Structure 1
């Protein structure tokens, strides 16, 4: 049976060949709480009372969940075609006229193809453009042409740009509302389609620039963002069987970092600090946190879980996540080894 793009995979049994659509939209297995298109539906709700909100896409509305907005507000949706530079320039023009444009495409296309246009037309002018991009990190099996494994590294050096990496549907909904209120350019990574819900049980509330401790623990501190916060929470539960007590600090804002929360958490003596991110080990959250701790004179035992500094393979996502060390089982195995 062929799976639709938005149909979740069931859990893979031991010894079973892992197959899934390379362009799978959901990371939620059967039985896991999830919401459909949280970004698109939240934007529709916001736009009902915010006439300045408009949506633009570079021929990818269906694959960034902006089609939900386009159906609800067709007179405020602009299809720019496969021209990311034009997409960003048009968004800049709309922002100059008082609109709040949400420009959507794939993360690889925004970061690689349109960087200079974002920098010169949007960031330098500090315009109120929200760039929301699907397929961040290793969330597609289509290979290097679609895997945005270095987008955070590319954008972290751009002045005026706020960078958000939500964990789940709840995080995405709240972050979408927050960046709509925020004045200035934002780059937000997007989990699309059927998005898991994991943060509801932690009383979570998103705030730009703030990290949140989701659970306490005396042995290991996970500092994580994006889907790796889901993996860190799952790993923490699995490691309880080994009597390894794990804390999880979720960092949804990559820039600006919550300096106080990260430094205070890392100062607790005797804990292994593990940064986990769905991004290259070069230039992302791990290096940002490592540099921050050194500047502050905080030197715990430090480990980093991220994607390798190479072009990644194409294939089924469960296989790739195992291969490149960001599956829950891979995280658990590495922490066990480090604790030994």
Structure 2
């Protein structure tokens, strides 16, 4: 059996920007001295006159992006998630969100899969922070195909968009002809009647593998990929809750304020259902190889399987 192709979604980000750059002259890319890491260096090589390195000044970069958007450009401001959502939160809130400017934020190196960079760089709070900004679209793609599609959709969307990308290469699971990306619409990857796993980002492929382990125990799990956390596909979430009666959310993010919280908000209001949130507990990450950290924090297929079995 051939090995599954793996690509880091930050690579997808850089490649998609370069493809879009050939079609749209109003697309401008900003970076904060991290073009090699965020992969916007690919765009810089192709269109140097439309790439602005703002230096290690992320707050200033968001202000520049806001100004460019006000002139009709479509800026993609790029840096690590910790510096985008964390350091530049106020500028995103007040200079981009409040005036509803057409700025796209490409936040790479999110979650504990940043690995050896350690707790200071492992941003497990960014989805929670960005969800609170009125009008902000929050997207967390699962693989290369979805990440590319997300960049294209972000360009077409009028208004601020936060996109979350990873450092670690992850399996490509959406490479089939009928794949369709639509902001605000989740995707049922596997049907099931006993319970539902709602996952986002790199945890989607791991959840599919966990479902196979559960199937071996006679548990028929539905698996849903939620690439857009805001706006959430509430109809799909409610439908799954009503049909399977039990929900598990899985995310490489704090269990506070992320996908799990968004799902709980929806179900509490529309279809009260027991939900178990699987993610990073109320703790910081730590330095170590990405794959080992994902295993330690219970976010690989084995960890997801064990947590679901314990809960059931």
Q: d(CA) in 1 for partners of 2:201 and 2:138?
A: 12
Deviation at 1:228, TM superposition (A): 1.1
Q: CA deviation at 1:220?
A: 2.0
Contact 1:38 1:192 in 2 (8 A): no
Shift of 1:45: 1.2
> Residue in 2 aligned with 1:71?
45
Aligned to 1:332: 305
TM-score, structure 1 length as denominator?
Answer: 0.87
Aligned to 1:290: 264
1:48 Cα offset (Å): 0.8
Aligned to 1:248: 223
- Cα RMSD for the two superposed structures: 1.6
SS in 1 for 2:36: helix
Q: How many residues align?
A: 308
Q: Does 1:84 align with 2:43?
A: no
Gaps of 5+ in 1: 1-29
More moved, 306-315 vs 178-187: 306-315
Q: Does 1:233 align with 2:208?
A: yes
Contact kept, 8 Å, 2:7 with 2:143, in 1: the verdict is no
3-state SS in 2 of match to 1:235: helix
Residue deviations 1:90-112, cap 9 Å, x none? 11111111110011000000111
Secondary structure at 1:217's aligned position in 2?
coil
1:190 and 2:160 matched: no
Superposition map of 1:281-320 within 5 A:
281-296=255-270, 298-320=271-293
Q: Which residue is equivalent to 1:215?
A: 190
- Corresponding position of 1:258: 233
Query: What do residues 232-287 of structure 1 show as CA deviations (whole Å, max 9, x unaligned)?
Result: 11111222221211111111111111111111111114x42101111101111101
Q: Which has the higher helix share?
A: 2
Give the Cα–Cα distance (whole angstroms) in 1 for the partners of residues 104 and 48 of structure 2: 19
- Deviation of 1:318 after TM superposition, in Å, equals 2.2
User: 1:202 deviation in Å?
Assistant: 8.4
Structure 2 residue runs of 5 or longer lacking an equivalent are none
Aligned to 1:275, the other structure's residue is in SS state strand
CA contact (8 A) 2:114 2:168 kept: no
Contact 1:38 1:195 in 2 (8 A): no
Deviation at 1:123, TM superposition (A): 0.7
Structure 1 match to 2:34: 60
Equivalent in 89, 98, 101 of residue 115 of structure 1: 89
Tell me how far 1:193 sits from its aligned partner.
7.0
Instruction: Find 1:130's aligned residue among 100, 104, 107.
Output: 104
The Cα of 1:170 is off from its aligned counterpart by 0.5
Is the alpha carbon distance of 1:300 and 1:173 closer, same or farther for their aligned partners in structure 2, counting shifts above 3 Å? same
Q: 2:311 is paired with a residue of what secondary structure?
A: helix
For 2:250 and 2:160, locate their aligned partners in 1 and report how far apart those are by CA, in whole Å: 26
| Deviation, structure 1 residue 336 | 2.2
Contact 1:56/1:103, CA 8 A, preserved across alignment: yes
Counterparts of 1:326 and 1:194, CA distance in 2:
15
Cα distance in 1 between the residues matched to 2:7 and 2:204 = 17
SS in 1 for 2:162: strand
The residue number in structure 2 matching 1:22 is none
Mapped pair 1:158 → 2:133: yes
Q: Distance between the aligned counterparts of 2:169 and 2:303, measured in 1?
A: 24
Residue 315 of structure 1, CA deviation: 1.2
C-alpha distance in 2 between matches for 1:194 and 1:73: 26
Q: Report the Cα offset of residue 181 of structure 1.
A: 0.4
Greater alpha carbon shift after TM alignment, 128-137 vs 238-247: 238-247
Map of 1:106 onto structure 2: 80
Write the distance in 1 (CA, Å) between the matches of 2:148 and 2:71: 26
The normalised TM-score by structure 2 is 0.95
Cα displacement (A) at 1:200 = 2.1
